[in-house]
């Protein structure tokens, strides 16, 4: 079972998904000189907000995905950052009945508790030189499809403790999943 430990003092974060790979996982001193996104609103009949920034001299154009009402955006810290073996409290026995075979089988399910290190209300998805095409980009498409599916699936078909309304960023990747 996966659970999320809320933190009342978790800071508000700005989630950015940039189209590059950074092979560094430690802290970095940020400065406006290195990352300074700007936004402009067009004066067309339907105003559109355009976000622009530069990363290592390359122009990036951003699309803001707002986390809708009823959903939560969270940055989670993995409980298994160390490779310590699981304790008996982290595992539980799950018994289930197979209707076809009419037999009881035991399976072990790991119990994992993630910790909230920050929350966010929107995600900025950046593209090279142009706005990201939501119909082609895997991140944008995945988030939008996930939210659509979560609205369709009836909670009565799920376990009582299943949560569908989380958009999760971990230290390694964006994950949109049932928790």
pLDDT at residue 84, rounded to an integer: 44
Given a cut of 50, whether residue 175 has pLDDT beyond it is: no
pLDDT digits (tens, 9 = 90+) for 45-94: 777 788 999 888 889 999 888 887 777 888 887 776 544 444 444 333 33
pLDDT digits (tens, 9 = 90+) for 110-131: 667 778 888 888 888 899 988 8
Adjacent-strand bridge partners of 128: 60
Model confidence band, residue 104 (pLDDT cutoffs 50, 70, 90): very low
pLDDT digits (tens, 9 = 90+) for 23-47: 777 776 766 667 788 998 877 777 7
Q: Exposed, middle or buried, 5 (CB in 10 Å: 0-12/13-18/19+)?
A: exposed
Displacement of CA 154 from its chain's centroid (Å): 22
Decide which of 167 and 130 is more confident. 130
What mean pLDDT is reported for the chain?
A: 70
CA distance 169 to 119: 9
Q: Could you give the domains of the chain? A: 2-23+34-79+86-176 (2.40.128.680)
pLDDT at residue 100, rounded to an integer: 45
DSSP string of the chain?
-EEEE--TTPPB--EEE-SS-----S-----TTT---EEEE--SSS--EEEEEEETTEEEEEEEEEPPTT-EEEEEE-TTSS-PPPPGGGEEEEEEEETTTTEEEEEEEE-EEEEEEEEESEEEEEEESS---TTT-HHHHHHHHHHHHHHHS-GGGS-TT----EEEE-SS-EEE---
Given a cut of 70, whether residue 99 has pLDDT beyond it is: no
Decide the pairing of beta strands 58-66 and 49-55.
antiparallel
- Residues 6+ away with beta carbon under 8 Å from 164: 150, 153, 155, 158, 178
Torsion of CA 168, 157, 111, 115, to 10 degrees: 30
Model confidence band, residue 158 (pLDDT cutoffs 50, 70, 90): low
pLDDT at residue 153, rounded to an integer: 66
């Amino acid at each position: 079972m996966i659970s999320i430990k809320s933190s009342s003092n978790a800071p508000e974060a700005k989630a950015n998904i940039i189209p590059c790979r950074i092979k560094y996982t430690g802290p970095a001193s940020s400065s406006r000189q290195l990352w300074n996104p700007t936004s402009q609103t067009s004066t067309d009949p339907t105003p559109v907000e355009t976000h622009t920034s530069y990363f290592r001299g390359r122009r990036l154009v951003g699309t803001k995905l707002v986390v809708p009402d009823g959903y939560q955006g969270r940055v989670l810290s993995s409980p298994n950052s160390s490779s310590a073996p699981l304790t008996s409290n982290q595992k539980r026995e799950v018994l289930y009945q197979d209707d076809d075979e009419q037999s009881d089988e035991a399976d072990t399910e790991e119990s994992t508790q993630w910790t909230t290190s920050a929350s966010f209300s929107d995600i900025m998805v950046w593209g090279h030189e142009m706005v990201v095409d939501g119909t082609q980009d895997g991140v944008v498409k995945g988030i939008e499809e996930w939210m659509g599916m979560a609205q369709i699936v009836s909670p009565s078909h799920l376990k009582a403790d299943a949560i569908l309304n989380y958009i999760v960023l971990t230290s390694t990747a964006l994950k949109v999943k049932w928790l």
